[in-house]
Amino acid sequence: MDRQPAAGASVSSEAEELILVDALDRVLGHASKADCHDGDGILHRAFSLFVFNPDGALLLQQRSAGKRLWPGYWANTCCSHPRRGESLDEAAQRRLEQELGMRCELRYVYKFQYQARYGERGSEHELCSVFVGSTAAAVQANRTEVAAWRFVMPEVLDAEMATTPERFTPWLRLEWQRLRGDFRHELPTPLG
């Protein structure tokens, strides 16, 4: 069941400075979020979080209509960028709390580079670190950032992605394939 989030404030801007990196994750400098996503994009550091509940269901969010790239698409629990001077761990916890009102212990799983274009609106060009966690914390989604949210069992998500891949962000499709394949052992198992 899709759940509608509560009201909330905007937690990012096109002017915030992101961390530019090379393919080996060495810092090259900084640029605005807007510049990083214009045209074909500039490679920058990012993260994706996959948070599961005690039953083993993954928390997905539908991106708000106000997002520049992939508005209204279903994405993983949370994804964003560390800002200038911020570590991945700090950024992941900050954004999880800002978007979904929760905290969770996160485990780094893997890193990958991808580039995806969203028509004339711009591109994602990221070196993305993927984290997994599990919590029983209640979701308190920020309406400015999240249009809706839901928990889904892994096999149900597999089926949905096979039949309606166009509903999901390109990074979620890439990351989920790797998590369900190469890193299957990293996914939490139901506690009950």
pLDDT at 97: 95
pLDDT at 190: 72
For 44-54, the pLDDT digits (tens) are 999 999 999 99
pLDDT at 94: 95
Domain boundaries, the chain: 17-183
What's the pTM? 0.92
In whole angstroms, give the CA distance from residue 21 to residue 94. Answer: 21
Q: List, in order, residues 6 or more apart from 3 with CB less than 8 Å away.
A: 139, 141, 148, 149, 150
pLDDT tier for residue 9 given thresholds of 50, 70 and 90: low
pLDDT at 5: 41
For 14-32, the pLDDT digits (tens) are 789 999 999 999 999 999 9
Instruction: Say if residue 166 is exposed, middle or buried (CB neighbours under 10 Å; 0-12, 13-18, 19+).
Output: exposed
- Topology of domain 17-183 in CATH is Nucleoside Triphosphate Pyrophosphohydrolase (3.90.79)
pLDDT at 14: 75
Mean pLDDT estimate for the chain: 92
pLDDT tier for residue 6 given thresholds of 50, 70 and 90: very low
Write out the DSSP string of the chain: --BPPBP------TTSEEEEE-TT--EEEEEEHHHHHSTT---EEEEEEEEE-TTSPEEEEEEPTT-SSSTT-EE-SEEE-PBTT--HHHHHHHHHHHHHS----EEEEEEEEEEEE-GGG-EEEEEEEEEEEE--PPP--BTTTEEEEEEE-HHHHHHHHHH-GGGB-HHHHHHHHHHHTTTGGGSPPP--
Catalytic positions, please? 79, 126
For 139-190, the pLDDT digits (tens) are 999 999 999 999 999 999 999 999 999 999 999 999 999 999 999 999 987 7
For 95-139, the pLDDT digits (tens) are 999 999 999 999 999 999 999 999 999 999 999 999 999 999 999
